[in-house]
Amino acid sequence: MKIGVFGGTFNPVHLGHLNCLKSVAEQASLDKMIVMPDRIPPHKQAEDLASSEDRLNMCRLAFADIPCVEISDWELKQEGKSYSVITLRHLKEIYPHDKLFFIMGSDMLLSFEEWYQYKEILSLSALICVARSHEDIDHIEVKAKQLKAEGGEIIIVKTDPFEVSSTEIRQMLKKNVDCSCYLSENVVQYIVDKNLYNRGFLSGR
């Protein structure tokens, strides 16, 4: 089996994430894609972090229509920072005969050499990268070449980038700016119902 892992903070999950996973589903022919919300992202300060349960539930809603997607709470149940090498070692134990693919946006590929034990990650898993912006497209080609020279398998999935981040969405919510066009309808409803992120204004839904 070909198994993809899509890790993230998903605070909240947005249409950029959905666009990424849909493009991977269309082009990479994976048998299963595991969405893995992290407990503590290793390399960033997680601001206004919604609870693990809420981030998990929003992922369940957002990715419900993509076939072969499973939402995993494994990282959320571990102690400490969510280092991907630990997750991949665990998945390799569960799926010893299957091929793993770690799915990421271009910002993650471009900083990949800063990841904890990144060389081991390259030995455990291929990387699938999706550009977050048009500008990133050339940069990821260069980075992919470098990582391939180190023995990595890097697959670039082409997509029309959907430029948005969870940070921007949280900021819009705080400033009462309507950001519902960046979110799945059911995620908007969840944010409203649970009154997450001092949600401010979300129009018409």
Ligand X SMILES: O=C(O)c1ccc[n+]([C@@H]2O[C@H](COP(=O)([O-])O)[C@@H](O)[C@H]2O)c1
Residue 130 binding partner per list ligand ATP, ligand X, none, with a CB distance cut-off of 5 to 8 Å that depends on partner kind:
ligand ATP
Extract the runs of DSSP E, i.e. beta strands, from 38-180.
69-71, 99-105, 126-130, 154-157
Residues binding ligand X (CB under 6 A): 7-9, 38, 41-44, 82-85, 108, 115-116
Please state the closest distance from residue 121 (CB atom) to ligand X, in A.
Answer: 7
For residues 84 and 93, which CB has a smaller minimum distance to ligand ATP in the complex? 84
Residue 55 binding partner per list ligand X, ligand ATP, none, with a CB distance cut-off of 5 to 8 Å that depends on partner kind:
none
Pick from 53, 42, 45: which is nearest to 7 by CA? 42
DSSP 115: S
Choose the stretch contacting ligand ATP; rule: CB under 6 A; options: 59-67, 115-123, 134-142, 157-165.
157-165
> Quick check: 130 binds ligand ATP (CB under 6 A)?
yes
For residues 19 and 57, which CB has a smaller minimum distance to ligand ATP in the complex? 19
Beta-bridge partners for 130? 105, 157
Handedness of CA 89, 93, 98, 103 (dihedral sign): negative
List C-alpha distances in Å: 154 to 76, 120, 145, 160. Answer: 27, 14, 8, 19
Kindly state the number of chain residues that form the binding site for ligand ATP, as judged by CB under 6 A.
21
For residue 148, how many other CB atoms are within 10 A of its CB?
12
Q: Show contacts with ligand ATP in window 165-194 (CB under 6 A).
A: 165-167
Beta-bridge partners for 156? 129
Please state the closest distance from residue 96 (CB atom) to ligand ATP, in A.
Answer: 25
- Which residues lie near ligand ATP (CB under 6 A)? 8-11, 16-17, 19-20, 44, 104-105, 107-108, 130, 132, 162-167
